[in-house]
Chains A and B, each alone.
Chain A
Amino acid sequence: MPLTQQQPSATAIFYRNLRWLRFVDRFGRKGQQTVEYLGGLIQLIGQTLASCFSRPFYSTEVLHQMDELGVKSVSITGITALFTGMVLALQTAYSLEAFGGKIFIGRVVSLSLVRELGPVLTALMVGGRVGSGITAEIGSMTVTEQVDALRAMAISPIRRLVVPRVLATVLMMPVLTAIADVLGILGGLGIAVLELQMTAQDYITSIWQQLQISDIGSGLSKTIFFGLEIAAIGCYNGLQVEGGAASVGRATTRTVVLASISILVSDFFLTKLFLAL
């Protein structure tokens, strides 16, 4: 009778799979942290929305934040859109010239900008500038115990700090995007007239024939969600800071990364939603 091969012991199996077990463990922990983070973020958004509809209101603070976060972002989002419109006009002319498609430049530039690039690029720029600024400010307040000082004075940090920033960002995002759309289209017009020897009339007619109110509506509606994501992530990361200056720096980086990812991911789903409507 042939000898049966000896079965490996449980310990041997354990050690053989230790690397995998460690991997699973690390993966599980990351998953747990992600779920906890998302849970905390959603809870903050819920509390913020609930606080928006009950007293006390900090309307002066909302106006101050609209200026700080919105008005002061006009230049950065405007320049981004202007040059994007110019590049779009050049690239479209390069691709469509062979087919005699130069007359479509106005359509392509305006549609791309109004439906997609205007909202997303504005949100990414605002996410970088405003989101990081919010985290740095609230994070510094957290480490210097100013947030605890508010709580100790029976003042809700959510009402005083989070609500004005979220409201200001949500209200200013469509405005910034509308300005960006206009500047982008004007950038395209400039290139069409100066570089591509088109008339302004042709460019504008081409836009007029194509662009619908629904295109503008879907583009601007998306930015309300982007604004909410940017401000909520910024505030949440700021309030979660523990330790000193280094943690504030890390939290600020995390805000820019997470805000950008969430803008791009949610843009896909929002686009699908608006196309289905």
Chain B
Amino acid sequence: MSTAVAAADRTPVASPRGETIVEFENVWKRYSGRDVLTGVNLTIRRGEVLCILGPSGTGKSVALRHINGLTQPDDGDVRVFGSSVVGLTEEELSPVRRRVAMLFQGGALFDSMNVEQNIAFPVREHGERPPEEIAAIVAEKLTMVGLPGVQRKMPAELSGGMRKRVALARSIALEPDIILYDEPTTGLDPLTSEKIAQLIVDLNVRLQTTSVVVTHDIVTARTVATRLAFLHQGRFQFVGTFDEAARGGHPVLMEYFRSMGFPCGTGVFQVPKGV
């Protein structure tokens, strides 16, 4: 079944004036003697798909990991659901992490478990449920990501794209309010990338979640993004819609668009279909 909704056809669920769900305030982060984030400010609104775009190594994933407290800032504040996640212990972060799922770059599936055990894992960990109910949740989530019936397979038997889908099914198992995607299409062929991108859009609408997608791929960004945030030299240099960016955003962003083969800055922005 294909319930994927193309970016162009879907009705935007995020009101531009939606409630703020995540907020970065003057966040600084230093890694091995290098300033990665230098006073980052950003607000993410409920229901939108915010795409953090930028070249490799600019600290996009680092910024993303601040949202669920996997990384703590050196300075500044990050507020999720209205309360700060800075300086909290792992135990104190638990309530936030249960509502914020994360899809890791390589999927991060547990190799010692099969697909069903992987998806059931967070469900079993957070509450007692009968086995039939867990099996039903697993089957439902697998159908949602378009991979019904692979419960018994081991992660090593899956292709890169399938692994990402199973990991995505595991992320949505607890029905999170926010899903963080770290490079969801990296290492996949263009066709699979596009399918994953459409799945992200589709899930955002169906599960009524907020999504934050880190990518360096403009094609993915075009498909998924309600808004773009361009990270360069440790700060978000541009935040706005894809069309606004293409009409004329930050000069480096323009350069980035052109290097990826997207004509832009001409006033009339047309992306050829099928890119």
Contact = CB atoms under 8 A, between A and B. Distances in A.
A91 interface: no
Nearest to A156: B90
Interface string B146-187: 000000000000000000000000000010000000000000
A7 to B, nearest CB: 39
Interface residues of A, number: 13
Given A144-B108, A154-B97, A149 B102 contact: yes
Chain B interface SS verdict (over half): mixed
B106 A154 contact: no
Given A154-B126, A155-B125, A156-B90, A149 B108 contact: yes
Contacts of A145: 104-106, 108
B110 A152 contact: no
A148 B174 CA distance: 17
Interface residues of B, number: 24
Interface of B: 68, 70, 90-91, 93-95, 97-98, 100-102, 104-106, 108-111, 121-122, 125-126, 174
Interface string A146-158: 1011011111100
A148 B90 contact: no
Contact of A151 (B97, B106, B110, B122): B97
Question: Which 9 pairs from chain A and chain B are nearest by CB?
Answer: A154-B97, A149-B108, A145-B108, A154-B94, A152-B102, A145-B104, A153-B122, A146-B108, A154-B98
B93 A154 contact: yes
Given A146-B110, A148-B70, A153 B125 contact: yes
Contacts of A149: 102, 104, 108, 110
A25 B150 CA distance: 57
B106 A144 contact: yes
Contacts of B174: 153
A151 B104 contact: no
B105 to A, nearest CB: 7
A145 B108 CA distance: 5
Nearest to A147: B108
Nearest to B102: A152
14 contacts: A144-B108, A146-B110, A148-B70, A149-B108, A151-B90, A152-B97, A152-B100, A152-B104, A153-B121, A153-B122, A154-B94, A154-B126, A155-B122, A155-B125
